[in-house]
Structure formats: C-alpha cells, structure tokens
C-alpha cells in the first residue's frame, strides 16, 4: 500500500471465476475422480446407516472411506439425520450425539476434493417408509432437477434456466432458493446470472426447495449430482442410481 498510494484495489473474484468456468480435459479427469470418491463415501454411509447405529459412526464411515480412497482431507461434507419434518431438509455440519431410529431420514451433501477439484453428491437415506409429505418434497426436487438437466445445454443462460426452475417449483407450492452451483475457486460458488453454458463447465445440480411457498418452514437439498456440460446432454458423474435409498 505504501508503494502504491494512488492505487485502488477491487475484488476480482468474478473475473477469475469466469476464466476458470471452462475446465481442461485434464481438470475434468480430476473432477470425475472426485465423483468416484463421493460414490465410495456414500456407499460406506449407506452400509453403516441402520436403526440403532451411532450417528457419528455413519458420518465417520463416509469420511474414512473417501480419505482412504484418495480424497484430500477434510472434505466439506454436510450431514444431518432425524424424523421428517422435525429436521426439515436443512443441514448442520456433521453428526449428533444420537442413535438412528426407525423413520429417520439421513440428508447429506457429500463433498470430497481430489487434486483441488471439488464435487458434491446428495442422496437421502430413509430408514423405513417415508411419509407422503416427504415423498412430495422429493418428487418436486426430482422434477426441478430434470428440468435443469434439460436446460443445461450449450448457449443457454443460467438466468433463463433458473427462471424456468423457479416457475416450476412455484406451481408445486415451493420456493426455489437455488438450482446450480459452480465448484471452482471456492468449494461452492454462485454463478454470474448472465453466464452462457459452454462444454467443459461443471456444476452441481441440487435444487434447494423450501415449503410452503409463503412461509418457507422446511427447506434444503434432498437429491443432486455434479454434471459436466457437453455438446449434448450433460454428463452425470455419479454412478449411483438416481433415487432414494431405503433400508
């Protein structure tokens, strides 16, 4: 500052973000590797998640499996468990001092990094049969997810995609807070709304829908994937089935 007394410093995050939006083929291989690690972590979580299991064991199983497979510790994975709708779909960071019970739902946002490239994966786990209210929330998020993937095409804009997604959610009685996030300079980032999609960009498609529309009492992620923009349909990176997982 003393050497540049007349200089004005500005935040250049958006400039760097736009430069970094399109990844090279080598970078995308790191992204795909991170997605494989998330699948490994989820499988360990699902295997450990049973009625009576310690919440911390479920969390730790996921983190341990990803780290052993090559993820850079720590991940930025978010997790919570509990009955619907007491916990809503929101997140706290990490597990609680409780044992899982029949009827619990485990919400997660599994976020490993490989070689500095982050991805996210959301797959809810249900211990028992979910309520009709929960299934409705899940169905809305799947519907918004599918719309976003249809609109995630080269030349389309983020602003147009979000508007269509928000209109769809509103018709179902939900307020849509977010659909896509970018993984880049930070773990997750908002994308400039005028961004035009180009091959080589990658995003997390994980709708955050809040219900009911006017009061937004319950909200968060239920299901989602990291996807790469291509010349056609986006490439979904997780090899897991796109579904609820029940035990």
pTM: 0.92
Which tens digit of pLDDT belongs to each residue from 102-158? 999 999 999 999 999 999 999 999 999 998 989 999 999 999 999 999 999 999 999
Per the CB < 8 A criterion, the answer to whether 166 and 210 are in contact is no
Whether residue 93 is predicted with pLDDT greater than 70 in this model: the reply is no
Q: Which range has highest mean pLDDT (3-12, 36-45, 89-98, 209-218)?
A: 36-45
Kindly indicate the confidence band of residue 176, based on its pLDDT and cuts at 50, 70 and 90.
very high
**Before 85, cis peptide (omega within 30)?**
yes
Question: Angle at which helices 132-151 and 158-171 pack, to 10 degrees?
Answer: 150
Q: Which domains does the chain have, with CATH numbers?
A: 13-246 (3.90.230.10)
- Reported as a pLDDT band with limits 50, 70 and 90, residue 6 is confident
Give just the sign of the alpha carbon dihedral 169, 170, 172, 177: positive
Specify the pLDDT at position 4: 80
User: What's the mean pLDDT in 28-36?
Assistant: 97
Q: What is the pLDDT of residue 33?
A: 98
Mean pLDDT of the chain: 92
What pLDDT is recorded for position 64? Answer: 98
Tokens of 184: 């880049």
Q: Are 197 and 157 in contact (CB under 8 A)?
A: yes
Inform me whether the pLDDT recorded for 55 exceeds 80.
yes
Pairing of strands 125-126, 245-246: parallel
pLDDT the model gives residue 11 = 87
């Amino acid at each position: 500052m003393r050497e540049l007394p007349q200089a004005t410093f500005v935040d250049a995050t958006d400039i760097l973000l736009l430069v970094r939006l399109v990844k090279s083929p080598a970078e995308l291989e790191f992204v795909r590797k991170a997605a494989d690690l998330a699948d490994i972590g989820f499988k360990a979580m699902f295997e450990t998640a049973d009625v009576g299991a310690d919440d911390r064991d479920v969390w730790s199983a996921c983190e341990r499996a990803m780290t052993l497979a090559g993820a850079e510790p720590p991940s930025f994975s978010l997790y919570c468990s509990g009955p619907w709708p007491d916990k809503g779909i929101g997140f706290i960071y990490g597990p609680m001092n409780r044992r899982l019970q029949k009827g619990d739902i485990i919400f997660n946002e599994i976020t490993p990094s490989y070689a500095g490239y982050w991805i996210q994966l959301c797959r809810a786990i249900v211990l028992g049969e979910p309520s009709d209210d929960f299934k409705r929330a899940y169905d809305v998020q799947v519907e918004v997810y599918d719309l976003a993937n249809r609109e995630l095409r080269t030349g389309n804009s983020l602003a147009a995609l979000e508007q269509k997604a928000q209109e769809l959610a509103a018709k179902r009685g939900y307020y849509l807070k977010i659909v896509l996030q970018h993984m880049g300079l930070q773990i997750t980032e908002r994308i400039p709304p005028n961004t035009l999609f180009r091959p080589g960009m990658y995003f997390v498609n994980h709708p955050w829908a809040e219900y009911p529309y006017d009061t937004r009492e319950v909200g968060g992620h239920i299901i989602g994937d990291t996807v790469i923009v291509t010349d056609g349909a986006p490439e979904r990176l997780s090899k897991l089935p796109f579904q609820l997982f029940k035990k």
